[in-house]
Amino acid sequence: MGNLFDLTGIVAVVTGSSRGIGLAIARALLGQGAGVVINGYAPDETTQTLQTLLSEYPDRVAALAGDVSDPSVAQQLVDVAVETFGRLDHVVCNAGIDIIKPAVDYTPDEWDRILAVNLRGAFLPAQAAARHWIALGQAGSVTMTSSIAGQVGIPTLAPYAASKGGINQLVRTLAAEWATHGIRVNAVAPGYVANIMDNVALHDEQRINTFTPLGRRATVDEIAAPYAFLASPAATYITGAILPADGGYTAT
């Protein structure tokens, strides 16, 4: 059967990959042989990450900075993949932001921005890729980033939780709708991770250790590994799945 986890020849786009979990996902895909288009919101950071990755994986990395909640950026990600590598096989919709505060304190602008990046910013790249694959009659796959907050209630995460609950249902709906085109759609749902997003305060460590059976935060590499699996030939019969990578948090 060969190596079911080999990604040689596969081309992927990974949004929100100039740092943190997204960068670890890009590295995991590159490590298995894929070509990768990275994306970050900040141009300088994205360029710096591109140069670092190119030094490790020459000729297998491209980049596009921009806001994935903008449909033109979503389309450009597809275009860059095709123009650079000649094809597109997989999209990871990972870009995300969060603001932790009591639900009564969120402003409408904060709510709208979190939902725009986390939910609209996941749908638009997936939609652009699906349009490309359907037009070519080509199979493809999408993996989105969900969260334990999409399944269980965690105080002070109201808009973030709403966006991740939306991701879960979006994955199921797109998986059912696009299956006839050979397009798989799944999500990974991380628990608490050692990487902390910008402008996000730490949640109580005692709570995390108490409610996570493995008793610790994950490393970014532990979260990235399931993304490589879902992009690989080993996952060709998996679609519509929300794969927990949470140390058992949602099992208890």
Cα gap 54→80, rounded to integer Å: 16
What would the DSSP string read from start to end of 19-57?
A: SHHHHHHHHHHHHTT-EEEE--SSHHHHHHHHHHHHHHS
| Amino acid 194: pLDDT | 86
State how far the alpha carbon of 99 is from the alpha carbons of 2, 48, 170, in Å: 44, 26, 22
Cα gap 50→45, rounded to integer Å: 9
Query: pLDDT tens digits, the chain, 252 residues: what are they?
Result: 568 999 999 999 999 999 999 999 999 999 999 999 999 999 999 999 999 999 999 999 999 999 999 999 999 999 999 999 999 999 999 999 999 999 999 999 999 999 999 999 999 999 999 999 999 999 999 999 999 999 999 999 999 999 999 999 999 999 999 999 999 999 999 999 986 654 444 556 777 878 899 998 999 999 999 999 999 999 999 999 999 999 999 998
| Amino acid 207: pLDDT | 74
Q: List the one residue out of 32, 29, 65 whose CA is nearest residue 48.
A: 65
What would the DSSP string read from start to end of 120-155?
A: IHHHHHHHHHHHHHHHHT--EEEEEE--GGGTS--T
Q: Give catalytic residue positions.
A: 160
Give the CATH superfamily of 11-251. Answer: NAD(P)-binding Rossmann-like Domain (3.40.50.720)
| Amino acid 142: pLDDT | 99
| Amino acid 199: pLDDT | 44
Please name the residues in contact with 211: beta carbons below 8 A apart, sequence gap of 6 or more: 249, 252
| Amino acid 197: pLDDT | 55
Residue corresponding to tokens 């979260």: 223
Contact 41, 67 (CB under 8 A): yes
